[in-house]
Structure 1
C-alpha cells in the first residue's frame, strides 16, 4: 500500500512553516487527513502540533551545547544522527494509510539541498521498503528575490540543484507573493514565473557608473582582472553563465503562493497531488444508496 508525502524545503526565511500551516489548514477545511512531521531540529513554534517531531530524537540546541558545534555543523550532525536511527521515522509512519498526506517540514540550511549527500539517503529510505511513500518536494523561494535579478537566478539555481540531487518530483513555489503584489507588472512577473533568462539583459542594476553592460564587454577580457572586477564584468559574466545553465536544462518554473489566499493554497495542493499521483491511487467510493421516502 502506497503512502503519500510532500517535503517542504527551501532557504531560511522562505516561509516553509507558514506554508505548511496554511496547507494543513486547507486540508482540514476540505476534510482531508494529514500527518505533520517536523524535521527541523531547531524549530520551536508551530501552527499545528507535529505528529512526529525530530526533536524527540535529537535537538539542535543540545547538539550545539554538548558537541560545541555551530548551527550549520550542529544541523548536519542532527541529520547524520537521524540517518543512523531511521527506525524513528519508520515506526511512526509505517501504519499511516494511503488517504493521508504526510507533510515533512524541513530546515532552511541550503547545504542540505545542494552539496551534502544527506537528504538523498533520507528520501530513498522514505520511498522504499516498508514505508513506500510516493514523495515530492515543494521548494520555496521568496518572491522578494525578484527585486534583485542576480539573487533570483541564484535562488533558481539552488532549486535546480535540489531537483537534481534528490531525484524526486518537484513543485517550485514563489512564496510571500502578497509582499510584491502591485509592485511588479503582470507581464514582467510572468517572466520570473517561467524563468526568462533574458531578464539579466534587461536588468537596470547591471549598468554601473562606468557604463558597463555585458554586451559591451570584450569576451577576451580576463574576468579575474582588476578592470573587469571593478567594472562589474566578472559579476555579469557569472550571472549570464548561471542563466545559460538554467536555460539549457529548462527544468525550473514557479507557482505563486499567497499563504493568506485559500485559492492559492488549493491550487498548489492540486499540483502536489498530481506530482505524487494521489487521486489516481484512491479507491472509488460507491454512491450512497438512496434512502426510501418517508411514508406517513
Structure 2
C-alpha cells in the first residue's frame, strides 16, 4: 500500500523545489522516497534521473519522468499547440497510457511517492484527465495520496489575488476529491512583498473575509468588482473547507510541521512504517546545507 503526495499549484509556487526539499528531509528521517515527475514542461530537474532497476544512491533522485513517454515541446511542434493546449494533450496521453505509469511505479511500491504535477491550474479545476489518473491510483492501485496545493505567500499582500487563490484552492479541493492540504509556500519571503493588511493568522485561517472589502475598495481596479468579490468570499466561507498551512522549505521545523499534517491526512502516521516523523527527533541536530537543495 504505497503512500504519497500529489504536489500541485500554479506556476512559480515552488512545486519542484518542494519535492526536492521534502525528499531530502525524508532522507534525514530514514523514509525511502521516490520523486515522480509528471510535468512534461519541467525540463530542468534538480534531481538526477535514474533507471527503475538501479539501486538509489539517495532518496531524492527522480524515479520516473513523463518525458520518457511524451515531451511537451514535441507535442507543440507536431500539433501546432501552445503550452496550455500541449499540457492538456500530454495529460490526456498519459491517461490513455496509464499502464506505462503503473509499470514504471511497480519497482517503487516500498517507497513514499512524490508526484510533481504540471502547474496549469485548469488541469485540477476544469479538466478530468489529471483527476482520472489520480483516481486510478487511489481506487484501483490502492495508493494513499494527499493533494498538497502550493500557493505563493506573496498573494497575501494583494487582497484581490488572495481571493483568487482562495477560489483556486477551493476548486481544486472539490475537483480532485482527495485529502487536501493547502500551503502558503515561500513564507520566509512574505515580508519582502510589502506589509500585510492583517496578521498572518487571518490569511491561514480564512475567516471573516468581509474585512477584505475595505482594502479591495481602495484598489481602483478591484472597486468595480466589489459586489462580485463579496459574493465569492461568501461562497468560500459557506463551504468552510479552505485554510492554509505555511512552509519555509529551508527550515527543518517548518517542513516537519507540514509533514505531520500530511502524514495524518493520508494515514501514513498510523501505518507503522519506518521514517515516521517521530524519527525526526534523532536527526534534528544534524547540520544540513539547505542552499544546496534550493531550486533556482
Using the size of structure 1 for normalisation, the TM-score is 0.83
Alignment of 1:145-160 (within 5 A): 145-160=155-170
Kept in 2: contact 1:174–1:255 (CA 8 A): yes
Unaligned stretches of 5+ in structure 2? 49-61, 276-296
In 2, the alpha carbon distance for the partners of 1:43 and 1:97 equals 24
Distance 1:284 1:70, change over 3 A: closer
Query: What is the CA distance between 1:186 and its match in structure 2?
Result: 10
Q: Which residue of 2 aligns with 1:35?
A: 34
Kept in 2: contact 1:191–1:199 (CA 8 A): no
- Tell me how many residue pairs correspond in the alignment: 260
Kept in 2: contact 1:194–1:253 (CA 8 A): yes
Distance 1:186 1:148, change over 3 A: closer
Q: Which residue of 2 aligns with 1:293?
A: none
Q: Which residue of 2 aligns with 1:288?
A: none
Structure 1 consecutive aligned stretches of length 4 or more whose deviation exceeds 4 Å: 182-187
Q: Which residue of 2 aligns with 1:270?
A: 260
Summarize deviations over 1:221-271 as a string: whole Å, max 9, x none.
Answer: xxxxxxxxx9x6541111111100000011011011111111111111111
Kept in 2: contact 1:36–1:102 (CA 8 A): yes
Q: Which residue of 1 aligns with 2:23?
A: 24
Kept in 2: contact 1:154–1:242 (CA 8 A): no
Q: Which residue of 2 aligns with 1:175?
A: 185
Q: Which residue of 1 aligns with 2:109?
A: 97
Q: Which residue of 2 aligns with 1:59?
A: 71
Q: SS in structure 2 opposite 1:273? A: helix
Summarize deviations over 1:115-167 as a string: whole Å, max 9, x none.
Answer: 111122111111122x2100110001110001111111111111110110110
Distance 1:149 1:284, change over 3 A: closer
Query: What is the CA distance between 1:184 and its match in structure 2?
Result: 4.5
| RMSD of equivalent CA atoms | 2.1
Kept in 1: contact 2:204–2:243 (CA 8 A): yes
Kept in 2: contact 1:200–1:239 (CA 8 A): no
Summarize deviations over 1:4-54 as a string: whole Å, max 9, x none.
Answer: 110110111111111111101101111210111000001122222311000
In 1, the alpha carbon distance for the partners of 2:238 and 2:148 equals 22
Alignment of 1:115-154 (within 5 A): 115-129=126-140, 131-154=141-164
Q: Which residue of 1 aligns with 2:286?
A: none
